[in-house]
Amino acid sequence: MSTAPLFLVEAVPSSGPLLLDGPEGRHAATVKRLRVGEAVLVADGRGGLGRAEVVGVAKDSVELAVAGRTALAPPAVRVVLAQALVKGDRGELAVEMATEAGIDEVLPWKAARCIARWESGPRGDKALAKWRSTVREAAKQARRAWVPPVGEPLTTSALAGRVATADLALVLHESATVGLAELALPAAGELLLVVGPEGGLTDAEVDELTAAGARAVRLGPEVLRASTAGAVALGALGALTGRWAPVAG
């Protein structure tokens, strides 16, 4: 039996009726083709998760009966991904996979060797909107009650400032001599994970980030693509911390 599909709503009631309309309602009615009696999940993107049953279907909306609401706490170790801009759909793939793997926040990073350039204006706004839409859809696919926010693009100096406030900041780098499994990871707080572009990090970037407090680490003997490194690192962190412990409810 497949897992019930998840739809995002503004607020999840503790019980009672809920009308699923707008884009979510159209998707439920015309794409998912939900039928009366089917089970669904609804989430507010902020930890609220409800279990519901379809009680009515219209052309572009679905009526639900919510049986109960659960408030899911965020993980004790909050992982933030600073993802360098990647050209084309590789960037969307990077944030999609990271979201499915459990990332808690995404920070687009304008690294020196990025081929993609998100300039201020309509083109940059469109690229950022694509990342945000991709993250939202990936959260639904993964049945996540929390939708990771995607921040405004950061320069390296701004990223260094974020590094300084994190409980632990890690820069994935192929020349690092320390493996991720060798580190003492925090039991709680913010863990910032920095992934560079396809062209790699410059020495100046590594120096600036490590001077702000980051540690350079590597995942293993292979060199991963910028679009996959974040998700692979999240998988390792899920196993090395308590993030993958079963969630009650």
**CATH code of 93's domain:** 3.40.1280.10
Domain boundary among 21, 46, 71: 71
Burial 171-184 (b: 16+ CB within 10 A, else e): bbbeebeeebeeee
In a domain, 148, yes or no: yes
Computed on alpha carbons and rounded to an integer, the radius of gyration of the chain in Å comes to: 20
Query: What CATH number did the domain enclosing 36 receive?
Result: 2.40.240.20
Domain boundary among 48, 71, 94: 71
- 106 and 200 in a single domain? The answer is yes
* Structure letter (DSSP) for residue 243: T
- Please tell me the predicted confidence (pLDDT) of residue 217: 94
- 218 and 172 in a single domain? The answer is yes
Please name the helix (run of DSSP H) or strand (run of DSSP E) that holds residue 206, with its range, or none.
helix 203-211
Please name the helix (run of DSSP H) or strand (run of DSSP E) that holds residue 193, with its range, or none.
strand 189-195
- 64 and 85 in a single domain? The answer is no
Burial of residue 60 (CB within 10 Å: 0-12, 13-18, 19+) is middle
- 127 and 217 in a single domain? The answer is yes
- 131 and 191 in a single domain? The answer is yes
Give residue 65's domain range: 6-71
pLDDT digits (tens, 9 = 90+) for 157-198: 999 999 999 999 999 998 888 988 899 999 899 999 999 999
**What domain count does the chain have?**
2
Rounded (10°) angle between helices 89-101 and 122-141: 30
- 142 and 214 in a single domain? The answer is yes
Rounded (10°) angle between helices 229-240 and 89-101: 10
- pTM > 0.75: yes
In a domain, 245, yes or no: no
Output the CA–CA distances (angstroms, integers) from residue 199 to 110, 168, 194, 203, in the order listed: 13, 25, 14, 12
Candidates 248, 247, 198, 240; CA nearest to 77 is: 240
pLDDT digits (tens, 9 = 90+) for 69-102: 999 999 999 999 999 999 888 999 999 999 999 9
